[in-house]
Homo-oligomer: A and B are copies of this chain.
Amino acid sequence: MNKRILVAGASGYTGALAAQIVWDHPDLELAAATSRSDAGKRLDRLYPRYRVPIGLSVLDLDRLDGIDAAIVAYPHGAAAPTVAALRERGILVVDLSADFRLRDPDTYARWYGEHGAPELFGTGVYGLTELYRDQLREATLVATPGCYPTASVLALAPLAEQGLLSEVFIAAMQGTSGYGRSSDDTVHFSAMTENAFPYKTEGHRHRPEIEQELAALGSPAPVTFVPHLLPLDQGELSTCFATLGEPTSKEAIRSLYAKRYGDEPFVHVLDGPPNLRAVRDTNECHVYVTVEERGRVVAFAAIDNIWKGASSQGVQNLNLMLGLDETAGLL
């Protein structure tokens, strides 16, 4: 029997996409999609490009019988209390917010402020599937990574795991869906077309998340991270410059990548630079690595920021949590 899934916060970009993926999923049933701001509207009216002909309701924590798992697509800070309430009712949770990604409370406090469910802090499994697959099978609470960490960490993981990374500089670029639906002047078409710019240049919250994961893999390297907004909808590219602790040949590095990702269903190591159109509307991550003549590495990863960078990776994790095939509903 299909598992019954709740998508909470389904009127935002990642929540709506999560609802669509669950709707199309052969082994899941979309039990409910909730939204405070757009309750009463049909999801396929709110997003004509999706095909989910159900109405949005207001989340009622007292009427969740028969829900097996929930995908929570709330803003950072707002997610934690709802996640806690869902967990209390025994519902498996895939959280798309940042609330459970960081493992150091001081770092969380510095970048996000007070936590909304401190008793659960640090208990989530980090949902970068390719790194935490085994833990995810047992997880009850998963913190799906941010889009920038997904691409950046996948770009660098084969080096990080070998303890090779010395210094890391990342120029990351993303489309306007990463800015969220709650639009302001910045993402007005008239402001964004023919434009591009770096932002949060004094520090972005995804930087400590990237450092946490590279360190966990074996390379506690300092990361400088600069995000840019591009005039496109969906897509995220991480261009990662790295110096290595010891000289390593291009061949050795490429072989490392080929071996590391050879069996991955969604991470593909290319033999040339990736592009965003090739991963759009997919759960794929396209990786390419090269070494320039003085030995510095440049590693690239391209994903769709609201798919592999959020909603479809959430479902990838949900598949594991529910004992389904990891790729179900995602190919």
Please list the residues of chain A having a beta carbon within 8 angstroms of any beta carbon in chain B: 13, 48-49, 167, 169, 171, 173, 175-177, 179, 181, 183-185, 187-199, 201-203, 222, 224, 226, 228, 230-235, 237, 239, 241, 243, 272-278, 280, 288, 290, 292-294, 296, 298, 300, 302
CB pairs A–B below 8 angstroms (9 shown): A49-B278, A176-B190, A197-B274, A198-B273, A198-B274, A201-B290, A202-B292, A224-B294, A224-B296
- Residues of chain B lying within 8 A (CB to CB) of residue A277: 48-49, 191, 194-195
Cα–Cα distance between A175 and B302 once the two chains are bound (Å): 19
Q: Is the CB of A194 within 8 A of B276?
A: yes
Instruction: Tell me whether A196 and B237 are in contact in the complex, defined as CB-CB below 8 angstroms, given that A181-B188, A185-B181, A189-B187 are known contacts.
Output: yes
Which of B231, B243, B288 is the one whose CB lies under 8 Å from A189? Answer: B231
A18 to chain B: closest CB distance in Å? 16
Q: Beyond the given A169-B296, A173-B196, A241-B241, please list 11 additional residue pairs across the A-B interface where CB-CB is below 8 A.
A: A48-B275, A171-B239, A173-B228, A175-B190, A187-B189, A189-B189, A193-B233, A196-B276, A197-B237, A228-B237, A231-B231
The 6 A-B residue pairs whose C-beta atoms are closest, nearest first, are A171-B171, A48-B278, A197-B275, A169-B241, A176-B189, A189-B192
Cα–Cα distance between A12 and B52 once the two chains are bound (Å): 33
Q: Is the CB of B195 within 8 A of A237?
A: no
Cα–Cα distance between A298 and B65 once the two chains are bound (Å): 49
Q: Is the CB of A226 within 8 A of B197?
A: no
A304 to chain B: closest CB distance in Å? 11
Q: Is the CB of A183 within 8 A of B188?
A: yes
Select from chain B the residue with minimum beta-carbon distance to A44: B278
Cα–Cα distance between A290 and B225 once the two chains are bound (Å): 12
Select from chain B the residue with minimum beta-carbon distance to A195: B277
A186 to chain B: closest CB distance in Å? 9
Which of B201, B233, B243, B272 is the one whose CB lies under 8 Å from A190? Answer: B233
- Residues of chain B lying within 8 A (CB to CB) of residue A185: 181, 183
Cα–Cα distance between A193 and B176 once the two chains are bound (Å): 10
Q: Is the CB of B196 within 8 A of A235?
A: yes
- Residues of chain B lying within 8 A (CB to CB) of residue A196: 173, 230, 232, 235, 237, 275-276
